[in-house]
Amino acid sequence: MAVKQYKLLIVESPSKAKTIGKYLGDEYVVKASVGHIRDLPKSNKKAIDIPAGFVPHYEISKGKAEVVHDIESLAKKASEVLLATDPDREGEAIAWHIKEAVGLKKPKRIVFHEITKTAIEEALRHPREIDENLRKAQEARRVLDRLVGYDLSGLIWKKVRYGLSAGRVQSPALRILVEREREIKAFIPEAYWSLTAKVKTQGGTELELSCIEEPRDETEVKNILKIGRGNPWLVRDVKESEVGRSPKAPFITSTLQQAASSRLGFAPSRTMMVAQKLYEKGFITYMRTDSTTLSAEAQRAIIAEISKLYGTKAVEARVYKTKSKNAQEAHEAIRPTDVHKKSLSVTPEEKKLYELIWARTVASQMVDARLARTTIVANVHGNSIPDFTVTGSRVIIPGWLAADQGARGEDVELPAVKKGEMLILLSLSDEAKFTEPPPRYSEAGLVKELEKRGIGRPSTYASIIKTILDRGYVLKEGKALRPTDTGEVVSTFLEQHFMNYISDSFTAEMENELDEIADGTRDYAKTLKAFYGPFSKEVKSKDKIDKITTLGDADAKFKCPKCNDSMIIKLARNGKFLSCKNYPDCVGARTIEGEELAGPRDTGELCPKCEKANLVERDGRFGRFIACGSYPKCKFIKKDEATALLNATGVPCPVCKKGFMTERRGRFGIFYSCTNYPDCKNAIKAKPTGNFCKLCDSLMMEGTKTIPERCSNKACPNHNPHKLAK
């Protein structure tokens, strides 16, 4: 019996494969690579052959060998192989890696910017080869980031502290936040007064007006209060005007992240994750783009929908100019694939983001909104003090605001008053305030700033912010991003020694050069050589600089709690602290605010390695441990049952029944194992609760918010209660 022939179409995502599979017939098999299948090895020595022209050596990513094998098996039986990964550099690179890893001879490359039947059928009619220039641009970015990251991070490990990192794009972003933090710290607040007058009109309506000036002198404030309270008030002027508000361009990646942050409270990474799901389900066009263009077909559909919902008078076809100098990636703005769908039956997050995209897209092709703006100006008779004003507005013609009501704001209706009309003063109050420093950047604000300075590209904004948050260089306080002590120290070190490489101009120019590689107008190897030659010399020259062991002298009022000598500022994993300048001879320490730290606790046991100092019990990042008191001169750490017992949970080991389950730190994070190790190798992933499973008698461990505890035995149905419930 003849084997049925089929065409193999490969995408990255299983969700995307499922959606596309619905539009294609039986002649196609759709397979997902589940993202990248190859990457650079972790060891930098094996990753890139610099003398050969910056040739990267790729390896099959962990867990992807089976995926590669499956694709290879399907490809051998296919009459044709089509690579349909995303329409950007990353997608082009994934397609190339699949071709190389599987050994495909002449695969066809197709691209589409929306997952609809029409778009896929059109893409299938126009296959092409893999774009080597796009692929090389992605490779150049990957190699560049690896070289910069490894070289700079290695130096920071030596000169600042082990475990820190730097990056070609993350470091300029961190510098922007640190520079703002310095402005805030250097800001000197000045006192001023806010004056408010509450009045009643002849019609009986109460109004609250604010003084147009903010006096800085208390004598002037008292004078205004005296005159204002002792004289009659009247309407000095009524200013009325009609103003228009134009709609904004359809979303691009950066503006979607900004709007989702301010209106939905989504972090950029969350926005991109939700948008990815909407794209893969076929509801929106590709979400990594810096083009505001709408296709002619899409524009016609949008205008037809506006006419249907709001009438033909609400329509105004508009073309928006893309602001980005090197607009790239997808060729359209982010829009719904079917504008007739105003909402979706999906997850709450997906629904909110889709409705935001729909509103922005439809509003972009509508007439201006017209608003009536009224300003009432009041003063005492004779106008001897600064004017007090109140402004209100109301919508006359909704225009595009009918579609995007979230952008409308609140209407503030003011009563009808006439110039010269007397007012009744109810109260005149003052409030002393202080000028405030510039605000910290929010995630939306940082994305806007990165875009403005040309740092990064649409696909990188979310990962940049996620990286500096994950590294502990930045904390999120409400919506504000605040650099940590570690972040400030790292940024200061890089600014002092590598400012040329983390400046706005250099970073933006490097992005332009990557764009030129993508265009085919710049050579890959020459570009990397021109950068890496001077950069590597600069890094090597810094080997001679002194290690940053202290960050300066502490305030003279803080003395060592043990020897009463002066103290210095040092950097620990959790931030700055004060240490005795005589350390390690004296281990006195305080918090940065000056409170005494308990410090190491003497065990009375002599160190078996140096036999000069006693062993002390310390609090480490991952629990308590016992080590030599003369560290760093002697780095002995006691690794025995006693040390393990310090971190023990008190839950007996159910296997050997001799030891206790204790917290340990391994390659993949914290886990819990028996104190009787290595005689007993019982271990579980999460903290034991002390209870036992009713199904298999194994130890129960902590679960999640929805599942307080679950069985530690992976083979037990109670290991995943969600599946058990089903």
**Per-residue CA distances from 577 to 443, 558, 592 (Å):** 29, 12, 5
Tokens of 46: 């094996």
Distance CA 578, CA 571 (A): 9
Beta bridge mates, 589: 579
Say what the pLDDT of residue 667 is. 60
Say what the pLDDT of residue 644 is. 53
Tokens of 152: 């700079």
Q: How many residues does the chain have?
A: 726
ω into 127 cis (within 30 of 0) = no
CB 285 within 8 A of CB 332: yes
DSSP-derived 3-state class of residue 502: helix
Domain 253-367 CATH superfamily:
Topoisomerase I, domain 4 (1.10.290.10)
CB 488 within 8 A of CB 283: no
With a pLDDT cut of 70, the percent of the chain lying above it is 94
Domain 7-130: top CATH class: alpha beta
pLDDT < 70 stretches in the chain: 1-3, 44, 323-330, 599, 619-624, 639-648, 666-668, 678, 705, 721-726
Cα 510 to chain centroid distance, Å, stands at: 22
Query: Residue 607, exposed/middle/buried by CB under 10 A (0-12, 13-18, 19+)?
Result: buried
Domain 191-246+370-434 adopts which CATH fold? Topoisomerase I; domain 3 (2.70.20)
Q: Where are the domains of the chain?
A: 7-130, 141-186+439-544, 191-246+370-434, 253-367, 549-599, 644-725
- Nearest CA to 362 out of 318, 296, 408, 321 is that of 318
Q: Is 320 a catalytic residue?
A: no
- Helix-strand-coil split of the chain, %, nearest 5: 35, 25, 40
141-186+439-544 CATH pick, 3.40.50.720, 1.10.3720.10, 1.10.460.10, 1.10.260.40: 1.10.460.10
Under 8 Å CB-to-CB from 85, ≥6 apart: which residues? Answer: 10, 11, 12, 33, 91, 92, 94, 95, 98
Distance CA 449, CA 443 (A): 10
Say what the pLDDT of residue 726 is. 46
Say what the pLDDT of residue 722 is. 61
Annotated active-site residue in 28, 150, 286, 501:
286
Note the pTM of the prediction, 2 decimals. 0.75
Task: Measure the CA angle with vertex 493, ends 560 and 153; round to 5°.
Answer: 110
Distance CA 51, CA 600 (A): 50
For residue 322, the number of C-alpha atoms closer than 13 Å in the C-beta half-sphere is 20
ω into 654 cis (within 30 of 0) = no
Sheet strand arrangement including 660-666:
648-652, 660-666, 669-674, 683-684
How do 614-620 and 206-211 pair as beta strands?
Answer: unpaired
